[in-house]
Amino acid sequence: MSGVSGPETIVIMDLIFVHGRAAAGKLTTARALGSVLGYPVFHNHLVVDTLTTVFPFGSEPFVRLRDQMWLSVFADAARADTSLIFTFAPESTVPAGFPDRARTAVEDEGGKIHFVHLVVSDTEQEQRVVAEGRKEFHKLTDVDILRTIRAFDDTVEQPPADLEIDTGKSDPETSAATIAAHFSLTPRPPIVRFPS
């Protein structure tokens, strides 16, 4: 028989939800993972920086729209079978239950979500937070503010952790390889941002 083909490959969207404290290495690790897998990096500051051009950080419209934008992207990516990497820093202005809403948004559209917790020691965190590269996306760069925020870490809702990596002991490339192997992630062709 001509035209007979093998079994069809089922493509399932994977959302790699990378979370941790400021300067834990979330964006650096996400970029390393993206370069290995071809997944786009939808990092926290893309939406934050967009919305703070119009609404102050923490204001009602900012909080509401940030939540909506994150969840809409997750749901539509899952619907389109577009795997992606998301970075997230737990903090008090994020409405309670966000990790559960993220899981629902992805799983309701047939995707899978994997929570990766990056940890870093206080000493390493304070050394990293003043790095020049952190100014790129208006990230926290003040050690005194960092220490104030850190005092409230236990009062902020933390996402689950399917995998935990100490980025003080694992460089970005090793962390990326660990994540890809742990969740058996399959590389994909990179997204063409501006098709011709």
Q: pLDDT for 140-188, tens place per residue?
A: 666 666 667 676 677 889 999 999 999 999 999 999 999 999 999 999 9
| Res. 2: pLDDT tops 50 | no
Closest alpha carbon to 44 in 61, 68, 23, 27: 27
- Of the candidates 191, 173, 192, the one whose C-alpha atom is nearest the C-alpha of residue 36 is 173
* pTM of this structure: 0.85
Q: 32-84: per-residue pLDDT in tens?
A: 999 999 999 999 989 999 999 999 999 999 999 999 999 999 999 999 999 99
- Indicate whether 110 pLDDT > 80: yes
What is the Cβ-side half-sphere exposure of residue 176, based on CA atoms within 13 angstroms? 22
State yes or no: pLDDT of 195 exceeds 90: no
Map tokens 């100014």 to a residue: 135
Q: What is the DSSP string of 161-182?
A: -SEEEETTTS-HHHHHHHHHHH
**Radius of gyration from C-alpha coordinates of the chain:** 18
Q: What is the pLDDT of residue 132?
A: 66
Main-chain dihedrals φ then ψ at residue 12, nearest 5 degrees: -120, 135
The predicted pLDDT at position 136 comes to 63
Identify the structural domains of the chain with CATH numbers, from first to last. 14-175 (3.40.50.300)
pLDDT of residue 146: 62
